[in-house]
Amino acid sequence: MPTIRTVAIVSKPRSAQAARIVPELLAWLGQRGVAARLDEETAAYAGSGAGVARPEAVCQAGLVIVLGGDGTLLSAARAIAGRGTPIFAVNLGGLGFLTAIKIEELYPQLEHALGGNLDIERRRMLRTELWRGGVKIAEYDGLNDMVLAKAEIARMIDLEVHVDDAFVCVYKADGLIVSTPTGSTAYSLSAGGPIVLPSVQAWAITPVCPHMLSMRPVIVPDGSEIRIDALGADHATYLTIDGQIGELLNQGDRVVCRRSEHSVSLIRPPNLLFFDVLREKLKWGGT
């Protein structure tokens, strides 16, 4: 009998694959006596009105099944909010660095997971605080990155950066990314940042299209505190977390990034190495 008796299912919206898989998956779980809590997208695929918001769906589950791409997983990770619930992520998207389980592996791998045979990889999250006038007005945990980007067309922004007590520089650029190792294969990679193995305890600071070509990505220990002051006018800079949530900044706002006390538990297929994923996803040479 399964060790895990209740799962949550989080699905990518507007997905023909999810619409096909969800009814089959619910029937499969029901045959094994496993209860399922559904987010609103999953409930729509099931033809049910029993869907709830993602934080509520995952709060009492022993396992979270994600049907989608990396974006769906990032949303689920924030909804779990540090509970440590393992995430079983099935790739219905395109690239899918984090959603490593393929559709054809869904049921064999899920059988193992429900029985408690979990090969878990823990990924540290990044805590981002927004300070205005000396008062903390917001804080976020993200799995991939914190991004400060220009909010106006064809206008660079000025960002003053300190790492702990050391002044780094004032970046004049289209934006700045503070990335976790998990997020190093996302936006940071597109902006020329380094690929960082998940086991490395570090953050990558990557400028986006800097005015000075000599401004290159910097790796700092994940025990560091990164302080970034927005020097531009009100609403010239936009803060985003994992590319999904955020807000406009005012002049003089301070963004502080540090290691979160929370981590995300990803279930990985047995014997799948990080370099195996890189070769497959990035089409690197070799077999």
Multiple choice CATH, 6-119+268-282, 3.40.50.150, 3.30.450.20, 3.40.50.10330, 3.40.50.620: 3.40.50.10330
- What's the confidence (pLDDT) of residue 251? 96
Percent of the chain with pLDDT over 70: 98
The strand ranges marked E within 108-217 are 120-132, 135-142, 145-150, 157-163, 166-173, 175-179, 202-208
- What's the confidence (pLDDT) of residue 131? 98
Of 233, 215, 240, 242, residue with least CA distance to 161: 215
- What the block records as the tokens of 190 is 């597109």
Q: Nearest-5° angle of CA 230, CA 204, CA 182?
A: 115
pLDDT band of residue 272 (cuts 50, 70, 90) is confident
Q: Where are the domains of the chain?
A: 6-119+268-282, 126-261
Residue 226 has pLDDT above 90, yes or no: yes
pLDDT digits (tens, 9 = 90+) for 194-222: 999 999 999 999 999 999 989 999 999 99
- What's the confidence (pLDDT) of residue 98? 87
**CA-to-CA separations, 140 to 76, 94, 244, 247, 267, in angstroms, rounded:** 14, 27, 11, 11, 24
Q: Are 202 and 220 in contact (CB under 8 A)?
A: yes
- What's the confidence (pLDDT) of residue 116? 84
Q: Are 25 and 55 in contact (CB under 8 A)?
A: no
Separation CA 272–CA 277 (nearest Å): 8
> Hey, is 266 helix, strand or coil?
strand
Residue 1 has pLDDT above 60, yes or no: no
- What's the confidence (pLDDT) of residue 81? 77
- Please determine, looking at this structure, whether the domain spanning 126-261 carries the CATH number 3.40.50.880: no
pLDDT band of residue 287 (cuts 50, 70, 90) is low
- Record the pTM: 0.92
Residue 229 has pLDDT above 90, yes or no: yes
Of 34, 36, 29, 37, residue with least CA distance to 5: 34
The pairing of beta strand 202-208 with beta strand 254-267: unpaired
- What's the confidence (pLDDT) of residue 153? 80
Residue 78 has pLDDT above 60, yes or no: yes
Name the CA dihedral angle for 195, 172, 237, 181, rounded to a multiple of 10 degrees. 10
Active site residues: 70
Residue 154 has pLDDT above 80, yes or no: no
